[in-house]
Amino acid sequence: MLTPTPYLELEAVEVWLGPRRVFDDLSLQLHLGEHTVILGPNGSGKSSLIKLLSRELYPVVRPGSRLRIFGSETVNLWQLRGRIGLVSQDLQAGYVGRVPAADVVLSGFFGSVGIGRSQQPTLPQRQRVAELMEQLGLADLVERPYAQLSDGQRRRLLLARALVHNPEVLVLDEPTNGLDLQAKHQLLAILRQLAQSGTTLLLVTHQIEAILPEISRAVLLNQGRVVNDGPAAALLQDAPLSALFDTPLKVCTANGYRQVVPA
């Protein structure tokens, strides 16, 4: 049996966000080919974990502490953007209303928000954008200003942006937040196809209903600590979730998805 390849290794990591310590002595490994959910209540450190992976946050340098991404402690951001795609609420809020939809996707090649005058997309890049917009049901929105799009359309645009480099890992920060039922189900269906086609998914959420059937591992995070880590089938149950969210919950399942109701 092959040893799984880690794309993120945290060892005894301490992280501060301004005056607040987010993580103290956090250790965690995430592996290629293992679809994982990071689940926890608001304020548990989920977004900070994503920012460690995207290099927006850095841990305190101290003996015995280590952060490796794809096996290296030294990360080239341009290379990293080609291997890890990100869909986040912060990114969605960063685009101004007049940006054409196609430029949102194109900007993924440059790691920018929109396309500046100095950036000259190539023909292959434009062809890749057209392919992704067709694949995600966005082909008729190429020239539509960002402000005129629904939240569901914006989320799919950001997904297309994250996929321009065909990344090995796709990080999804609360991907279904604010979406109506149709948009949510459309997005989840696309994410399932990506999971089944070989893209490693890292889903970061507090919403149980957003957890895809393909997710095999659950990391339960609370107050900057991993309180449980193991098979999703074992941890996405009444007792672990009730303890995580500090409220009595009952898990109901249908078609591989889960919902929670008050116990």
Q: What is the CATH number of the domain that holds 70?
A: 3.40.50.300
Handedness of CA 69, 70, 75, 78 (dihedral sign): negative
- CA separation for the pair 56, 168 (Å, rounded): 20
The verdict on residue 49 lying in a domain is yes
Structural domain boundaries, residue 23: 6-262
Asked whether residue 1 is assigned to any structural domain, the reply reads: no
Q: Is 76 exposed, middle or buried (0-12, 13-18, 19+ CB in 10 A)?
A: exposed
Distance (Å, rounded) from C-alpha 112 to C-alpha 99? 12
CA–CA distance, 13 with 32 (Å, rounded to integer): 21
pLDDT given at position 245? 97
pLDDT confidence of residue 196: 97
Q: What percent of the chain has pLDDT over 70?
A: 99
**Number of domains comprising the chain:** 1
Considering the domain boundaries, does residue 188 fall inside one?
A: yes
Over the chain (263 residues), what is each successive 10-residue block's mean pLDDT?
85 94 96 97 93 92 94 86 90 84 94 81 95 96 94 95 96 94 95 97 96 98 97 98 98 96 95
CA distance 94 to 262: 36
Q: Cβ contacts of residue 123 below 8 Å, gap of 6+? A: none
Look at residue 130 in the predicted model and tell me its pLDDT.
97
pTM of this prediction? 0.95
What token pair was written down for 251? 């898990």
